[in-house]
Amino acid sequence: MASANVYASIITIGDELLIGQTIDTNSAWMAQELNKIGIWVHRRVAIGDVWEDIWKALDDESRLSEIILITGGLGPTADDITKPLLCQYFGGKLVVNEDALNNVKNIFLNILKRPMIERNLKQAEVPDVCTVIQNRRGTAPGMLFEKDGKVFVSMPGVPHEMKGMMINHVLPVLQEKFQMPPIIHRTLLTAGIGESFLAERISDFESTLPSNIKLAYLPNYGMVKLRLSARGRSEKLRAELEAEFDMLKQKVSDVMVIDEDLTMQQVVGNLLKEKGKTVGTAESCTGGYIAHLFTANPGSSVYFKGSVVSYANTVKTDILSVDPQTLKDHGAVSKETASQMVKGALKMLKTDYVLVTTGIMGPDGGSPEKPVGTVWVGVGDGHRTELHEFHFRFDRQRNIELTATNALNMLRKFILNPH
């Protein structure tokens, strides 16, 4: 099937999504993967476990899109109604799929070493009008239906299971059924400048962009990604996109972190690997969050050695050798304390660089002299130390994330400018 524009709708099913008990990460991931193969996501819809609502969503989205991807509602409990609904929607009847049955038995008997009940065996039942997608990461198989030239795919809501099906089966099938020009992107990361100021700076550039190239602003916690996109396969288009991207980089060169679609922690990690250096953290107000960002990257053990979560003052004094008199005279949130934390962390962790944080994340704990959002960040390498005071104004979680982003950017600049 050939189409200049192929659109998809994503339907996520589950009451837990609507009440905020579970955060929907599935649709964001699927949208990214679809975009890579040239499929635009027309709409993302969250639906509760209500028969009539799911049925209506299928009708509505199939009028808008060629592809309808569904996650959730395939479990073994009574509120998981997606499978019987799809069976009725496409006019089929439930039958046992032998491959799915063998998969369920293998998981329970050989992997989990647990007995099965009838409810588990029923997960091997599928509508006889679907193409079964075997679930190598769980018990509920996926199902692919076709109706009036539209493709419907139902997958489990468990992210790990859904991703396995998408990567190994669904995306290849969609690429085979729909021939569409790829969407090409070029992305850069900026830090230290707000979205509105960035937009003002590049307004002339944006106004003269060719109509076939689109600019997107993607802000996130102290950073803004700028993405240029175009649809097509021609080398001429790619060259045109690269030329515009080069112009964009020149416009933001002083605030650009990297001209790739990477996170700040990936940028810093790659920089440390490139230079053969190591880092550790001593975190008070961020509570190990920066260490978490580092270790979320595969291979981070090459450059990240460890962390001291010095949340209590006793840890600052006993582990990081902060002078109790410094805490008494200046407080935990101070330039003096951050400086001593740097020295103590270098001695304790024995790394090339250390990154330290101490601050007041809120909602309580502030004072007129040091309001909530006051943070000191320190970076050091044993020869020199840089310290910087930040003032954030948001809730606790956002203050933590902003501290981490700005701290990582401080470390990046410290490594790149050794003198």
172-206 residue pLDDT tens: 999 999 877 778 899 999 999 999 999 999 999 99
DSSP-derived secondary structure letter, 258: E
pLDDT in the model for residue 4: 60
Kindly report the pTM of this predicted structure.
0.79
Owning domain of residue 173: 6-177
Mean pLDDT of 57-61: 97
140-168 pLDDT tens trace: 999 999 999 999 999 999 999 999 999 99
CATH number at residue 234: 3.30.70.2860
The answer to whether residue 372 sits within a structural domain is yes
Does 20 score more than 70 pLDDT? yes
pLDDT in the model for residue 352: 98
| Confidence tier at 2 by pLDDT (50, 70, 90) | very low
What is the Cα Rg of the chain in Å?
26
pLDDT in the model for residue 1: 43
The answer to whether residue 223 sits within a structural domain is yes
Amino acid, res. 62: S
Based on the fold, state whether residues 71 and 172 are members of the same structural domain.
yes
Name residues whose C-beta falls within 8 Å of residue 367's C-beta, 6 or more positions apart in sequence.
none
Residue 147 belongs to what H/E stretch? strand 142-147
CATH number at residue 47: 3.40.980.10
Q: Which of 133, 153, 177 represents a domain boundary (last residue)? A: 177
CA dist., res. 8 & res. 170, Å (int): 13
Based on the fold, state whether residues 27 and 169 are members of the same structural domain.
yes
Based on the fold, state whether residues 254 and 270 are members of the same structural domain.
no
Cα dist. 81→86, 91, 96, 164, 212 in Å? 9, 16, 17, 22, 43
Are 294 and 319 a contacting pair, CB within 8 Å? no
Based on the fold, state whether residues 228 and 343 are members of the same structural domain.
no
Based on the fold, state whether residues 321 and 356 are members of the same structural domain.
yes
Instruction: Please state the separation of Cα 113 from the chain's center in Å.
Output: 34
384-402 pLDDT tens trace: 999 999 999 999 999 999 9
Does 266 score more than 60 pLDDT? yes
Mean pLDDT of 364-388: 96
63-95 pLDDT tens trace: 999 999 999 999 888 778 999 999 999 999 999
Based on the fold, state whether residues 43 and 148 are members of the same structural domain.
yes
The answer to whether residue 106 sits within a structural domain is yes
Which range has the worst mean pLDDT, 1-5, 6-10, 218-222, 229-233? Answer: 1-5
Does 61 score more than 70 pLDDT? yes
pLDDT in the model for residue 179: 79
Based on the fold, state whether residues 269 and 121 are members of the same structural domain.
no
What phi and psi, each to the nearest 5 degrees, are found at residue 39?
-105, 125
pLDDT in the model for residue 3: 46
In this structure, the number of other CB atoms found within 10 A of the CB of residue 415 comes to: 19
Based on the fold, state whether residues 173 and 204 are members of the same structural domain.
no
Based on the fold, state whether residues 19 and 129 are members of the same structural domain.
yes
- Residue 152, SS3 per DSSP: strand
The answer to whether residue 1 sits within a structural domain is no
The answer to whether residue 98 sits within a structural domain is yes
- Residue 344, SS3 per DSSP: helix
Instruction: Please state the separation of Cα 20 from the chain's center in Å.
Output: 18
Based on the fold, state whether residues 22 and 102 are members of the same structural domain.
yes
| Confidence tier at 56 by pLDDT (50, 70, 90) | very high
Q: Which of 226, 258, 290 represents a domain boundary (last residue)? A: 258
Are 12 and 27 a contacting pair, CB within 8 Å? yes
Cis, bond preceding 363 (omega within 30 deg of 0): yes
The answer to whether residue 233 sits within a structural domain is yes
Burial class of residue 392, CB neighbours in 10 A (0-12, 13-18, 19+): buried
Going edge to edge, which strands form the sheet with 304-309? 304-309, 279-283, 353-359, 374-380, 385-391
CA dist., res. 104 & res. 182, Å (int): 37
pLDDT in the model for residue 186: 96
CA dist., res. 189 & res. 174, Å (int): 31
| Sign, CA torsion 93/97/101/104 | negative
Based on the fold, state whether residues 242 and 301 are members of the same structural domain.
no
What phi and psi, each to the nearest 5 degrees, are found at residue 232?
155, 170
The chain-wide mean pLDDT, for the chain, equals 94
99-139 pLDDT tens trace: 999 998 898 888 888 888 888 888 899 999 999 999 989 99
In this structure, the number of other CB atoms found within 10 A of the CB of residue 63 comes to: 9
Of residues 354 and 184, the one with the higher pLDDT is 354
Q: Which of 177, 198, 232 represents a domain boundary (last residue)? A: 177
Give the chain's domain count.
Answer: 3
Does 23 score more than 80 pLDDT? yes
Based on the fold, state whether residues 17 and 112 are members of the same structural domain.
yes
CATH number at residue 312: 3.90.950.20
The answer to whether residue 151 sits within a structural domain is yes
Does 419 score more than 90 pLDDT? no
Name residues whose C-beta falls within 8 Å of residue 295's C-beta, 6 or more positions apart in sequence.
304
Are 218 and 224 a contacting pair, CB within 8 Å? yes
The answer to whether residue 83 sits within a structural domain is yes
